[in-house]
Structure 1
Amino acid sequence: MILRFTKFIFISLILIFIFGMFAGRIWDPDFWWHLKTGEYIYTNGSLPETDPFAYTTLPKDPLNPESKRIKFILTSYWLSQIIFFLIYKLAGLQGIIFFRATILTVLIYFVYRAIRREGADFYSSIILIIPSVIILSNFTGERPQLFSFLFVFLLVYLFEGFRMAEMNISRSSCKEINSGHRNSNLLYLLPIPFIMLLWANMHGGVFIGVIILSIYIICESIKFFKCKTGNSLPSKQLRILIVVCFLSILITILNPNKWDVFSVLIEFQKSKYMESIVESRSPFIFLSAGFYNQEIITYIFLIIFCMFFVIINFKSIDITDLVILLFFLYMSVTSARTIPFFATIYAPFTVRYAIKTMRALNNKLHYIERLRSFSEKFKLGSLQPLLITLLSIVMFIVLANTRIINKGIVWERYPKGSAEFLKNNRIHGNMLNPYVWGGYLIWALYPDYKVFVDGRGLIEEVFFQNSKIFSANLQQFGDIPEWQAFMKVYNINFIITYSVNDFTGNLIPIIPFIMNDPEWLLVYMDNNSLIFVRESPENSEIIRKYEMPKKWVWNEIITEAAYKVKNVPQKTNFYITMGDAFFAKQDFQDARTMYLKAREINPSNSIVIQRLNSLNSIR
């Protein structure tokens, strides 16, 4: 009794600590347009039929009028978005942080329960949830995918609970008890249709749920007719599982887009737009680019750990287990955004085959029996309450000195100052903004302003046009560069932008062109954003009040690059960018310092060598 109580206290403290890890500041750029859409739906009492937030969005994609993507993005998250907005309305941004941390902590608790259900002991279960926590702590974005993380694991948890319960009954000999247990086992399947209905109105990840259901239908049917592929369900239980799965798939049609999620997904997979989304790329691309963060390293470890036990048990592995694991492994290898699914799903299946491997070793080597007799001889089991009590005290002290819920927003990621400037100084005409800031600007400035583009990427061609403008594409369009042609077509009157690319560390290519173009004037600058306006009569008052020398932009570039390089200190380009900015200011000593720092990281970098040679020629 004492041992159970101390374990309960300890796991509770662990979960509180994990909750604190997931309760970081708000950072996800897509959160803002989800929140604003929730407000729009709540205020208007209906789903948006056309895009209210971007002036570049037409009712249909002009290059692909049959596309269902625009309507899907506008309406497929509606329930999640309303939930986000209602939480914000009741509890502010701290409520959003609390909600996000709660969902992820509940998910980890279910992972823990699944590991325990497979037969792992208390201590091993605590250790085995650590990789899941590490990876999920890097996926704390406040967006509807949180529900998909939870629902995917819940589906597998419920199906595996049903399968394991049926296998235990099959081993039992008491028919009366078996009959009663079989009826209670159906409780595992009852929540599944409800989960799928909710999911279909919260996030497009419901297609993963449909695939999971299909895997269980197909694999369990194969096992029934070919017993060598794993433990099969009894005929009646298999029929019930199939009926529940088909019902759950059919019920997903009850959403504003019916089953368009599949056609939209296929369209998205074929699009060039998907290739441009960083999180849709393989995690191994990040490794090759030098991003060795804890999430990627932990993920690689999980693959090795999981596949080790799969390969050892390959001849006897259950086909359902194998297909589920390989499906989520394939997803995570091809797209970094799906790593959290594998990071949770791996746990119960890996434990299942790890225990099977240990039992096989025990039968041959008798190591486990020796350890057990050693434990009994020295009465190590009696020390467990004391050990857990001591660990609980340590955990309590750590928690007492730790802020469990962080407050506010990672403002360094957003143009808060620029948004305030635009609110206080109404600039008429069309805005040009970076893709990644569109969501925040929608939240901060609508309905006074509409954005050029945002994280929804409703029209693929607009996204690429935005990229061509900011990359200063020099391909000729008539007698002017293409990027300038797009600026004229959209009648851009002001530009809000950052100066340094977070991922590459390079200076945004449009910045030097704007700085050297007398038509564009600098009216606002802070540590992470710039605002330029076109020189015109309608902007004369803003220019008169706020114009500043464009050479000051070099200071902003240095400040921004110095902040961003902290996240990737081995990225050479940030130091080159700072060196170039110091060089432009004719601060040659600091320029040399930055170039030398870049050379330390990459001695063979040709750009660094060229820059240092240029400095030497000045001397």
Structure 2
Amino acid sequence: MARSRCDGASEPPAPNVPILRPDWAALAGVVLFFSAGVIQKIWAHDIWWQLRTGAWIVENLRWPAGDFLSYTARGNEWIEVRWVYCVLCYLAWRGGGLALLILGHAAVLAAAFAVLVLPFRRVALTTVGCAVIGLGVFAALPRLVARPEAASYLFTAIFLVVLDGTFLRCAADGRRSRLLWLLPLFQTCWANTHTMFMIGPVLTWLAAGCAGLIWLLRATRRGRSETTHDPTARAVAELALAALLVSAACWLNPYGHRGAMFPLLLLSEIREGHVFSGSIVEFLGPFSPDVRWTLDTWAAAVFMGVAALLFVMNRRRFSLFRAAVLVAFLYLAIEAGRNQTLFALALTWTALANLAEIRGPGECGRPARTRPARLRTEGREPRTGGPAARTSRDAASKGGAMTPMYWRRIVASAAVALPALLGAWYMASDRYALHYHWPRRFGLGATAESVPDGAVDFLRRERPQGNLLHSMNDGAYFTWAAHDLYPVCIDGRLEVYGETPFTDFMSITQGQWRRYVEAHGVNTIVVEREYFEPFIPDVAAAKDWALVYLDPRDAIFVRDIPPHAELIRRSRIDFAAGWQPAAMEDERPTGWRRWFGSVERPWRHVGLGRGLVALGAPALALSPLDTAAARFPRSAEVWQSRADALRKLGQLERAAADYARAAELDPRDPAPLFSQAATYEAQGNHDAAVRTFRRLLERHGPTTHRLLALGVSLSAIGDVRQAEQTYEQALRMDPAFAEAAFNLGTLAAARQDWATALRHYRRVLDVRPEFQSAARNVVACMVNLGKQAEAAELLEKLLSEGRGNAGELRDLLRQLRGG
């Protein structure tokens, strides 16, 4: 029965509205997808030195000013503008361990997206809005982890929302926003939390500049008389004043001007050509030749297209500020891959804002335009309410029945929810991380393969002599877990170390490890296999160093000195004496992870196997690698690692078969194909090597070393013309590639074309004067051309300039004159 209103009119009966909105399924899917992406175990190594910094500040009640964690940068200026973040991390760890630390970061990241969504909540809670948010989360995935950038993401969201609301009011009628005056306070917090705080002043000045430009355009249209009392001018002035206050807030840090200018130092480090940008992967841009796009990078590119389309669709309400912000963040994302998450946040914000304005006036804070009276009298129902009102109308149109429109909305919501749920499962089961060989894992705690716990336990138990040589990753953990035992040689605070110590450290992997250990008094080397694998054989072969510890991740060598005599006697690992590795834990998922469909990689067995191969014990490596192959038959790295061991043992046929299987299991990785071709070459099967190298080039494209290897195989089968063309292609890619020029000279000399050979060998000496074989061949070519005097003159010039091996050059000169 209809209820009566007090004016005598009766209300229609309430429709039988469904309790569950269709859009809730899409929203639930996006929330689960976001949760699976942010609840990740600690794998970023910088968190450890940040925890140590926070603990030091709490214990000493002051800020660090000079380095005290290392022996290579001791006393160097240390500007730690992230001190609030470090303290909060330490307090969270002390209150609830790594679990609370991870959940705290997840809450901050969720707050960043919530702030972006809040002004557009009506459209954000629709199916289309959920799809936009889900795409934004996907594009932001790379940095949605426990890192200090989480604070910058939250503050960036706050600035975008507040400035956008202020800008819209300014552009419309000059109305002011009280929230604008909170930005200096937020900026003060930001300047003491993360190094990207310069984004705050940039965004504020950008809003002031865009608003000023709009006011100027209006002034030129209306004339001076109409703009004298324009309220927009006052709003522009207030934005400019806010920008000044926000900029001044950057100096409210413990380091004053040095702290305020600190982000400019970091910006210079990620620019192309800097030693840091060339060595740290996250500093590389997405268009760098060494960067392979992942699905989240493609999602960001697709999202950029969607955002641009929404700008076009909303062109009548085009926002200059939003467009300028998007361009600025696009530039940052192109400069360095680490900025992709910032770009994704900007894309989410602009897409939701434009979508809300396309949907109708008043959806995002922009004042609604008054419709002409004739539109309101043509029988058109005015737009009222949000998604809930549409649900009510859908159900009420047929007396409470679920209409076809309602079912269409359910289908649309399911089309968003199902991919989001699948993505959440793909993330939470760690399949996405393993697909790209990332160390990320879903859950709480720290990933076992990223933490050198075993090495730290050994160091604490045996106390070998310092100093330590270790990787950057291990150094970060040592600052936290072994800071009371040893200073480190390097960690993630690159701005503290500077270019010279960093370049000195990087020379270790180029065969300069002995110079480094002698210069810095290193008596213990902690070798992280994945980082130091190329120079492990050199250390293992050194007579004055002894291997005393080995696990799937690290090996420890100590110098053979009297203080280490007892340690070496007790702990030395001698493979010839029948040393056997201890039993290792099975890496296959158990418990809930097993029924959930989670996956894992056999990092313990593979790590130990690869370490044994590098240490010169491939026979011992086969045992853990065979176990891994039995448990993980679909793992490409298992078969590739086993093939490396078989190749070291001289079992080339079995090695080639394992390389082929690894290439089949992971066609995205070029390494197995290259190794397979090189194995064929070692067998003397040059035809198979050529075919495999060509398949490698077809799948993965040419590089200088791939072309060089193909050229060698082509020469072996007598196809000299193709070999020369291959070497020339390599030189076009890198004119300083000495090996290709040398091989071209060798081919020319083989057909006694001494002039051509001389030209190529001279090219080698121009870029690599220490290439002694090229110097000998230059002399031989000159002698064959009757240019003995010119050859002697060249050798004397190389000697006077100190280029090349002086002893060998003198021998060549003596032989030439003696002849």
TM-score scaled to structure 1, two decimals? 0.79
Residue 611 of structure 1: which of 679, 686, 690 is its match?
679
Query: Which residue of 2 is the match for residue 476 of structure 1?
Result: none
Alpha-carbon spacing, 1:598–1:29, altered in 2? closer, same or farther (3 Å): same
Amino acid at match of 1:443: W
Q: Tell me if 1:556 matches 2:611.
A: yes
State whether residues 23 and 127 of structure 2, in contact with CA within 8 Å, keep that contact through their aligned partners in structure 1.
no
Q: Tell me if 1:489 matches 2:480.
A: no
Distance 1:454 1:276 in 2: 14
SS at match of 2:304: helix
Deviation at 1:531, TM superposition (A): 1.0
Query: Larger deviation: 410-419 or 255-264?
Result: 255-264
SS at match of 1:284: coil
Query: Which residue of 2 is the match for residue 239 of structure 1?
Result: 237
Amino acid at match of 1:46: R
Distance 2:329 2:626 in 1: 38
Mapping for residues 462-611 of structure 1, pairs under 5 Å = 462-472=501-511, 482-501=512-531, 508-549=533-574, 555-556=610-611, 579-586=643-650, 588=652, 590-597=654-661, 601=667, 602=670, 608-611=676-679
Distance 1:603 1:8 in 2: 46
Alpha-carbon spacing, 1:585–1:168, altered in 2? closer, same or farther (3 Å): same
Distance 2:649 2:449 in 1: 25
Deviation at 1:496, TM superposition (A): 0.9
Residue 277 of structure 2: which of 274, 278, 286 is its match?
274
Mapping for residues 5-16 of structure 1, pairs under 5 Å = 11=27, 15=31
Q: Tell me if 1:140 matches 2:144.
A: yes
CA deviations over 1:76-114 (Å, ceiling 9, x no partner):
111111111111111111110110111111122223334
Query: Which residue of 1 is the match for residue 322 of structure 2?
Result: 321
CA deviations over 1:334-355 (Å, ceiling 9, x no partner):
1111111110111232344457
Aligned residues: 564
Distance 1:229 1:310 in 2: 26
Q: Tell me if 1:284 matches 2:339.
A: no
Alpha-carbon spacing, 1:132–1:206, altered in 2? closer, same or farther (3 Å): same
Query: Larger deviation: 251-260 or 124-133?
Result: 251-260
Amino acid at match of 1:272: V
Amino acid at match of 2:507: K
Alpha-carbon spacing, 1:255–1:517, altered in 2? closer, same or farther (3 Å): same
Deviation at 1:381, TM superposition (A): 5.9
Amino acid at match of 1:523: V
Q: Tell me if 1:151 matches 2:155.
A: yes
Deviation at 1:548, TM superposition (A): 0.9
Query: Which residue of 1 is the match for residue 477 of structure 2?
Result: 440
Query: Which residue of 2 is the match for residue 198 of structure 1?
Result: 189
Query: Which residue of 2 is the match for residue 103 of structure 1?
Result: 108
State whether residues 547 and 558 of structure 2, in contact with CA within 8 Å, keep that contact through their aligned partners in structure 1.
yes
Q: Tell me if 1:130 matches 2:134.
A: yes
Amino acid at match of 1:249: S
Q: Tell me if 1:461 matches 2:500.
A: yes
Query: Which residue of 1 is the match for residue 95 of structure 2?
Result: 90
Distance 1:470 1:16 in 2: 43
Q: Tell me if 1:407 matches 2:422.
A: no
Alpha-carbon spacing, 1:296–1:393, altered in 2? closer, same or farther (3 Å): closer
Alpha-carbon spacing, 1:483–1:396, altered in 2? closer, same or farther (3 Å): closer
Amino acid at match of 1:27: W
Alpha-carbon spacing, 1:604–1:137, altered in 2? closer, same or farther (3 Å): closer
Amino acid at match of 2:133: I
SS at match of 1:409: coil
Distance 2:469 2:485 in 1: 15
Distance 1:163 1:535 in 2: 69
Aligned identity (percent) is 20
State whether residues 58 and 87 of structure 2, in contact with CA within 8 Å, keep that contact through their aligned partners in structure 1.
yes
Distance 1:121 1:606 in 2: 50
Distance 2:313 2:626 in 1: 48
SS at match of 2:252: coil
Alpha-carbon spacing, 1:581–1:325, altered in 2? closer, same or farther (3 Å): same
Alpha-carbon spacing, 1:136–1:571, altered in 2? closer, same or farther (3 Å): farther
State whether residues 576 and 608 of structure 1, in contact with CA within 8 Å, keep that contact through their aligned partners in structure 2.
no
Distance 2:24 2:404 in 1: 20
Distance 2:563 2:109 in 1: 50
Distance 2:569 2:35 in 1: 51
Alpha-carbon spacing, 1:468–1:563, altered in 2? closer, same or farther (3 Å): farther
Mapping for residues 10-89 of structure 1, pairs under 5 Å = 11=27, 15=31, 18-60=34-76, 70-72=77-79, 75-89=80-94
Query: Which residue of 1 is the match for residue 198 of structure 2?
Result: 207
CA deviations over 1:555-590 (Å, ceiling 9, x no partner):
53678999999xxx9999997665333322455565
Distance 2:238 2:212 in 1: 12
Alpha-carbon spacing, 1:106–1:189, altered in 2? closer, same or farther (3 Å): same
Amino acid at match of 1:149: Y
Distance 2:290 2:658 in 1: 21
Distance 2:73 2:626 in 1: 36
Query: Larger deviation: 291-300 or 79-88?
Result: 291-300
Distance 2:547 2:148 in 1: 38
Gaps of 5+ in 1: 61-69, 171-181, 364-368, 473-481, 502-506
State whether residues 494 and 533 of structure 1, in contact with CA within 8 Å, keep that contact through their aligned partners in structure 2.
yes
TM-score scaled to structure 2, two decimals? 0.61
Query: Larger deviation: 258-267 or 341-350?
Result: 258-267
Deviation at 1:454, TM superposition (A): 0.4
Distance 2:610 2:152 in 1: 43
State whether residues 204 and 239 of structure 2, in contact with CA within 8 Å, keep that contact through their aligned partners in structure 1.
no
Deviation at 1:407, TM superposition (A): 2.4
Query: Which residue of 2 is the match for residue 420 of structure 1?
Result: 457
RMSD of aligned residue pairs (Cα, Å)? 4.5
Distance 1:317 1:334 in 2: 27
Distance 1:355 1:516 in 2: 67
Q: Which has the higher contact order (CA 8 A, sep 6+)?
A: 1
Alpha-carbon spacing, 1:557–1:145, altered in 2? closer, same or farther (3 Å): farther
Deviation at 1:393, TM superposition (A): 12
CA deviations over 1:144-170 (Å, ceiling 9, x no partner):
211001111110011112233556667
Query: Which residue of 1 is the match for residue 731 of structure 2?
Result: none
Distance 1:34 1:444 in 2: 12
Larger Rg: 2
CA deviations over 1:253-283 (Å, ceiling 9, x no partner):
1102224356444444154223322101102
Deviation at 1:389, TM superposition (A): 11
State whether residues 161 and 188 of structure 1, in contact with CA within 8 Å, keep that contact through their aligned partners in structure 2.
no
SS at match of 1:523: strand
SS at match of 1:531: strand
Query: Larger deviation: 189-198 or 608-617?
Result: 608-617
Amino acid at match of 1:200: A
Distance 1:527 1:187 in 2: 58
CA deviations over 1:106-145 (Å, ceiling 9, x no partner):
122223334446x566111111111222233331332321
Distance 2:657 2:513 in 1: 34
Amino acid at match of 2:110: T
CA deviations over 1:470-497 (Å, ceiling 9, x no partner):
332xxxxxxxxx4321210111111112
Q: Tell me if 1:430 matches 2:430.
A: no
Alpha-carbon spacing, 1:28–1:141, altered in 2? closer, same or farther (3 Å): farther
Deviation at 1:512, TM superposition (A): 1.5
